Amino acid sequence: MVKVGIPRALLYYQYYPMWKTFFEELGAEVVVSPPTTQAILFSGSSRVVADTCLPVKVFCGHVLALVGECDYIFIPAIRSVKSKIYNCSKFLGLPDMTEAVIPESPPILDIDIDINQGKSKLYQAIYRLGRRFTWNPFKVRQAAIAAWQAHLKYRQLMSNQGLTPPQAIERMSNTIEAEPKTLSGNSALTQATIALVGHPYLLYDELINHRLIHRLEQAQYRVLTPEMLTTEQLELAITRLTGRPYWTYEEEVVGAGGHYLEGGVEGVIGIIAFGCGPDSLMMDMVQRQATRLRTTPFMSLTLEEHTAEAGVVTRLEAFLDMIHRRKRRKAEVCA
Ligand code: SF4
């Protein structure tokens, strides 16, 4: 059976169930790289120039982790998935960059996705990818339909049931006996709700964010993330804040940030990657909105490969302490 490798980085968190279903429907076995480790991060960093953003360095490390483990590696070049809304340039050049910096990479299965070129071009691109496994166009069509269904189910699990991408993937994979715990369903000890906003590859990679979600849960905070909002909620928040979006990620940064700042949570933490141009602009908008509204405390954390765990912990503790004092003051005033 042909083995297709998928790096556990970047768009993995958004599309893994869809990609997995597509390849499995075509008879391939899907192999995923292991969760990020220091060794993976260091190996990826060693292949690219120093000012490359952290998530791309992590991605390169995951490609290296798949060398020798699969026959092909799937690296799509995704320009746009919504009309006139674009991905950052790193995503467009991902297959070419990988080929250049990791010559030992397994052969790359790539596909250009740009919805602005029209649906027929998209279908042709999917068919070209499927032809690597079968000449039967109906089989490719069936695989694409099944993949889309899997994606819808994945989205629904997150927005309706409050699951994070790793939890929803676990739920869909059927490999565990117990149901994963939802972030939004913590115990009665729960004190307050904190929203995390940022790219999924920063929020859910426990190595690079120093287990932020885990730390908040341990402190008995209920955690909300962008994936737990519906597309309509995110789009509405963006329209209110900036009008029409330009970057694909405005939903998970500006949309989620704007939505959560308007109420329902005690604090918002924005996570950005050092060296990311779009993030610096988008998180600035969220920061300005927080200053304008003055209703919800906001903190931004910038992550890079040298970010020390102690630094993250100290800032987190100070932020939570401030929220705690704010709550206590409010309670005293009400009493
Ligand atoms: S959006 Fe930012 S963090 Fe993500 S790949 Fe592009 S530059 Fe890197």
Chain position carrying tokens 């000449």:
135
Instruction: Compute the mean pLDDT over every residue in the chain, rounded to the nearest whole number.
Output: 89
Whether 199 lines ligand 1, by a CB cut-off of 6 Å, is yes
Whether 53 lines ligand 1, by a CB cut-off of 6 Å, is yes
C-alpha 161/C-alpha 181 separation (Å) is 10
Spell out the residues 6+ positions from residue 255 whose beta carbon is closer than 8 angstroms to its own.
Answer: 226, 229, 233, 234, 235, 237, 238, 241, 245
- Predicted pLDDT at 192: 86
CA distances from 113 to 88, 121, 150, 261 (A): 13, 9, 18, 33
End-to-end CA distance of the chain: 68
- Predicted pLDDT at 183: 55
C-alpha 15/C-alpha 234 separation (Å) is 18
- Predicted pLDDT at 277: 84
Q: What are the residue ranges in the chain where pLDDT is below 50? A: 176-180, 185-189
Of 279, 284, 303, the one to substitute when testing ligand 1's pocket (max ligand atoms within 8 A of C-beta) is: 279
Nearest protein Cα to ligand 1, atom 5: 90
Cα of 90 from ligand 1 centre, angstroms: 7
- Predicted pLDDT at 182: 53
pTM over the 0.85 mark: yes
Whether 55 lines ligand 1, by a CB cut-off of 6 Å, is yes
Nearest protein Cα to ligand 1, atom 6: 88
Whether 90 lines ligand 1, by a CB cut-off of 6 Å, is yes
- Predicted pLDDT at 58: 96
Is residue 206 within 8 Å of residue 165, measured between CB atoms? no
Residue type for position 166: P
Nearest protein Cα to ligand 1, atom 1: 88
- Which atom of ligand 1 sits closest to the CA of residue 53? 8
Whether 88 lines ligand 1, by a CB cut-off of 6 Å, is yes
Whether 276 lines ligand 1, by a CB cut-off of 6 Å, is yes
Nearest protein Cα to ligand 1, atom 3: 276
Whether 81 lines ligand 1, by a CB cut-off of 6 Å, is no
